[in-house]
Structure 1
Amino acid sequence: MNHDRYGLTLTTASDRAAAHYRDGVDCMLSAWHGAEDAFDKAIAEDPGFALAHIGRARLHQLSMEGGKARAMAARARELAAGATPREKSHVEIMAAVIESKPKVAVSGAEAHLEEYPRDAQVLSILLGAFGLYAFSGRPDHDAAKLAICERHARHYGEDWWFVSYLGWSHTEAGNLSTGRTLSERAMALRAENANAAHGLSHAMFEQGDMAVGREFLAQWMPAHDRKSFLHGHLAWHVALTNLDEGDLDGALAIYEAHIKPAGRPYPPLNIFTDGASLLWRLSLAGKAGLEPHWREVAAYGEKYFPQAGAHFADVHFALAAATTDSAALDTRLAQLEARAADGKLAPGGCAIDLCRGIGAFAAGDNDGAVRLLEPAISELARIGGSRAQRQLWEDTLIVAYMRAGHGDKAARRISARLDCRPSARDEAWSRQALRN
């Protein structure tokens, strides 16, 4: 009988298929290139292997290949009829994610993990900046991620993947020292682990260790295959360290080399949000001549996110549309309002106010931007993503304060940030905001 790396039974008589499947899962859990090939090989060795099919379906979904993802998920369901109860449940949960049924997937995953706590792939879909908890619209998703990790920690011990996400969850919950220590431990357990490198980069960013973070990534990234789906996002982290030093040209060069949507092999959500976010930050810092880049990012957003629905993409769509096409922003806002009226907008009205605030800011209406962004910031966590990603909207509010002549409000918000999460990065931002 074959098993996965966590000791769970795999319904396949082929040792080779099981080995390829284990490789594919490890590539997924480490955000390393090779998962697609590994699952394809597992399916070739055993066409009836349900878990290999659902693993491959999940990769199609991340690449926004919806038709292929749903077809493979349907096939996995058929094949799971002859599998174990654990595998049947695993397939159903993953299929619910692929079929855009997040509430079903969350409740199913939580129940599944009570019985099968070492099903790491199921646990993984709840976690991360783009996981089911983060995109649920709940304001306490950072605490929820940490709570479920701690609930099941005794089942994982020093597993390299689990320590990676336990560290990340502590960092996002504000426990920066613990998060950094755990992320460093995860890197020691398995250096070929982009999720650990990502978590460590966030811990360094939050602690204000920007130069150390840049040095770490400079040493680690050359061994990371550029086709791995986190490579562009890790380059985004390097660009943030350039911005911190005021090196706008250096940050733009990283955008052009690693992030801009020009045949990148990364998930579209990463490409779009990283690109729009970095260009907006460059604009806040006073970088001119970004119009061609904005048009390219806006076109990419129209291609992959033509309608409201993925709310984290929608709030980034507002950045591009506000810069290039206010009519497109108005259309997206109308779509968001319709979804909110139907109860289909997870973050609720805060996502709409963030988009409207960005539109006002881009139009030079700083008082309007303050009026819209100020209350929305208190619910900012509802849009998901990481703290580093969400900080863009607070930074915009601070600049709007300054431009509207509310330097006292800007100073109080900066002071509150320093009190809550003191870091050299926040001190650098305060100096930059005051210069602007």
Structure 2
Amino acid sequence: MAHEDRYGLPLSTASDEAASAYREGVDLMLAGWTGTAETLERAIAADPDFALAQIARARVHAFYQQGDLARQKAARAREIVATRGTERERSHVETLALAIEGRLPDAIAAMSRHVEAWPRDAVVLSLPLGAFGLFAFSGMPDHDRARHELCERVARHYGEDWWFLTMSGWAMTENGDVARGRAVTERGFNLRRANAHAAHAVLHAMFEDGSIEEADRLVDDWIPTYGRAGILHGHILWHQALGALEHGDAAKALRIYADVLQPSATQAPPLNVVTDSASLLWRLSAYGHSVPQALWLEADGAAQKLFPKSSLPFADVHMALFAAATQNREALAARLAVIEQRLAEGKLPAGPVVPAICRALAAFADEDHAACVQALAPVLGEVVRIGGSHAQRELIEDTFIVALMRSGDLSRARTLLDARLHRRPSMRDTRWQAALA
């Protein structure tokens, strides 16, 4: 009997065990659940010439910045599928391989062609979705809308599929349709609770509609079901730490940091290690809470090993947080020089917003708040181009607001905070009360 994936697409393997393990492994990957790598390895062991299992395992290697292993498995998958595989599988392997190699424009073009021909290929459809997907890191200013529109185009092919509801609901939320996005995401979450991407997406909706206490309860109730090795374990607790900060509870945020976000404690992928630690420590400091310098130095040391060179703009911005907070002007100047060279050569799709943010963060750390405001004001509308989620990018607006306050421009700070309160009317944010009193 011919084997198929969970979406009814044929699989080129004769092994029942390989097909079964692949289906399970893909579901675990789409759910961000523990055991993904081990399950895909079982599929490969059962059939070493199963190209889709090889490329899926390569993608998980890429999540953890295991570049050599990812490229080796991608090359093996390409080799296999050239002689053993359908047209759909060849396109599937090639699209994922391009993404693994960091060839974003080529990967986006291949993904678009593939989804047009095989809209129910969820693994390929997953590539542009989410805060760290191809669209988010493309530099495009409308990546939130692009994800939403893509999901709308293929929705009829998925119905009440738990994974698709999760991702399409989150795309709605990030594109500004928060109430609908939350409802759709919660439908997906209720269909499969062992789904870290759904828990995460619901937390984003709760962040946007100001349901901080409800988000806190969700994390407390759900996180015990999710292993610490889960790809989103630390990041989900990062969301809880943000909620604590909105209520001025720095002690709770620091406890969460020490437990699961500190580089010596976390099991997260490298990009999350750097972005979650840098952004939480920076927020704590910006809101007026004391952050031991030893925490900054430890996290910066780990980050320098993970991202020694300029790479993704989203990573570069968070590396600039470390350099600014530790007063490592040499590291920041070196990274800025590379970023500006790439910009001059037309190789920085996110554009001038990246060096502008880096310069603004350095000015903020130097307590030159007027210079921070001057650097950020012209590019605030372009911050979306660095990628990530709205909740993550709000760090930049928060820095701008604090810089306005400290430079004496309370009127503009009030205007921005009033706009935020209009977006999130149920939010009871205590961070700014002292400064605006």
- TM-score normalised by length of structure 2: 0.97
* Alignment partner, residue 308 of structure 1: 310
The match for 1:292 is 294
Deviations 1:37-83, CA, capped at 9 Å, x for gaps: 01100010001000000011111111111111111100000011110
| 1:425 equivalent among 410, 424, 427 | 427
The reply on whether 1:335 has 2:335 as its aligned counterpart is no
Question: Aligned partner of 2:286: which letter?
Answer: L
Alignment partner of 2:271: what SS?
helix
* Distance in structure 1 (CA, Å) of the matches to 2:416 and 2:249: 25
Amino acid at match of 2:8: G
- SS of the equivalent of 2:427 reads helix
Hey, what's the Cα distance between the residues in 2 that align with 1:11 and 1:231? Answer: 34
Instruction: Give the structure 2 partner of residue 388 of structure 1.
Output: 391
Residue identity opposite 1:52 in structure 2: A
Q: Deviations over 1:139-190 (max 9, x none)?
A: 1000000000000000000000000011101110111110111111111111
Kept after mapping to 2: 8 A contact 1:11/1:84: yes
Among 360, 363, 370, the alignment partner of 1:360 is: 363
2:246–2:431 CA contact under 8 A, matched in 1: yes
Residue 92 of structure 1 is aligned with which of 68, 91, 94?
A: 94
SS at match of 1:129: coil
1:279–1:290 contact (8 Å) kept in structure 2: no
1:373 is aligned with what amino acid? Answer: L
Partner SS state of residue 379, structure 1? helix
Q: Distance in 2 between matches of 1:366 and 1:245?
A: 25
Q: Is the 8 A contact 1:129 1:385 kept in 2?
A: yes
Once residues 269 and 335 of structure 1 are traced to their aligned partners in structure 2, the CA distance between those partners, rounded to angstroms, is: 19
**Are positions 1:111 and 2:113 aligned together?**
yes
In the alignment, is the contact (CA less than 8 A) between 2:188 and 2:198 conserved in 1? yes
Distance 2:131 2:297 in 1: 26
Give 3-state SS (helix, strand or coil) of 1:58's partner: helix
Q: Return the alpha-carbon distance in structure 1 between the equivalents of residues 267 and 354 of structure 2.
A: 28
* Distance in 2 separating the partners of 1:386 and 1:16: 38
Listed as ranges, the matches of 1:50-61 within 5 Å are 50-61=51-62
Which region of structure 1 is more displaced relative to structure 2, 11-20 or 410-419?
Answer: 410-419
Tell me if structure 2 keeps the 8 A contact 1:414–1:426: no
Query: Structure 2 regions of 5+ residues with no counterpart?
Result: none
Contact 1:50–1:79, Cα closer than 8 Å, also in 2: yes
Tell me how far apart the structure 1 counterparts of residues 20 and 189 of structure 2 sit (CA, whole Å).
24
**The residue matched to 2:308 in structure 1 has which SS?**
coil
The one-letter code matched in structure 2 to 1:254 is I
8 A contact 1:315–1:355 mirrored in 2: yes
2:271 is aligned to 269
TM alignment of 1:135-150, pairs within 5 A: 135-150=137-152
- SS in structure 2 opposite 1:47? coil
Find 1:128's aligned residue among 115, 127, 130: 130
2:249 matched to which residue of 1?
247
Tell me the residue number matched to 1:215. Answer: 217
In structure 1, how many angstroms separate the alpha carbons of the residues matched to 2:383 and 2:291?
A: 30
Q: Indicate the SS of the match to 1:38.
A: helix
Q: CA deviation at 1:289?
A: 3.8
- How far 1:267 moved relative to its partner? 0.8
Distance 2:373 2:241 in 1: 27
In the TM superposition, what is the alpha-carbon distance from 1:433 to its structure 2 partner? 4.6
Post-superposition offset of 1:346 = 2.0
| Structure 1 residue 245 displacement after superposition | 1.3
Partner of 1:16: 17
What's the CA shift for 1:416? 2.5
The one-letter amino acid of 1:345's match is L
Paired position in structure 1 for 2:412: 409
Deviations 1:9-31 (A, max 9, x none): 00000010000001110011000
* Matched pairs, number: 434
**1:427 to partner: Cα distance:** 4.7
> After alignment, is 343-352 or 247-256 more displaced?
343-352
What does the per-residue CA deviation read over 1:89-109, in whole Å, with 9 as the maximum and x for residues that have no partner? 000000001111011100100
| Aligned-residue identity in percent | 49
Q: How does 1:221-236 map to 2 (within 5 A)?
A: 221-236=223-238
What is the letter of the counterpart of residue 60 of structure 1?
A: H
Q: Which amino acid aligns with 2:203?
A: S
Give the secondary-structure state (helix, strand or coil) at the position aligned to 2:127: helix
Deviates more, 1:289-298 or 1:10-19: 289-298
Work out whether residues 281 and 291 of structure 2, in 8 Å CA contact, stay in contact via their aligned partners in 1.
no
Structure 1 residues 161 and 433: CA distance shift in structure 2, 3 A: farther
Which residue number in structure 2 is paired with residue 39 of structure 1? 40
TM-score w.r.t. the length of structure 1 is: 0.98
1:262-290 Cα deviation digits (max 9, x unpaired): 15322100111000000001001222242
2:67 maps to what in 1?
A: 66
The Cα of 1:132 is off from its aligned counterpart by: 0.4
1:309–1:345 Cα contact (<8 Å) kept:
no
Summarize the Cα distance change of 1:432–1:111 in structure 2 as closer, same or farther, 3 Å threshold. farther
Task: Report Cα offsets for 1:198-233 as digits up to 9, x if no partner.
Answer: 010011111111000000110011001111100010
CA deviation map 1:341-360 (0-9, x unaligned): 12221211001101100000
Post-superposition shift, 1:396?
0.5
Partner SS, residue 313 of structure 1: helix
RMSD: 1.1
Single out whichever of 213-222 and 285-294 deviates more from structure 2.
Answer: 285-294
Determine which of 247, 256, 272 is the counterpart of 2:258: 256
Q: Provide Cα deviations, 1:228-253, integer angstroms capped at 9, x if missing partner.
A: 10001001011111111111011000
Asked if structure 2 preserves the Cα contact closer than 8 Å seen for 1:417 and 1:426, the reply is no
| Alignment-mate amino acid for residue 256 of structure 1 | A
2:144 and 2:125 map into 1 onto residues whose CA distance is 15
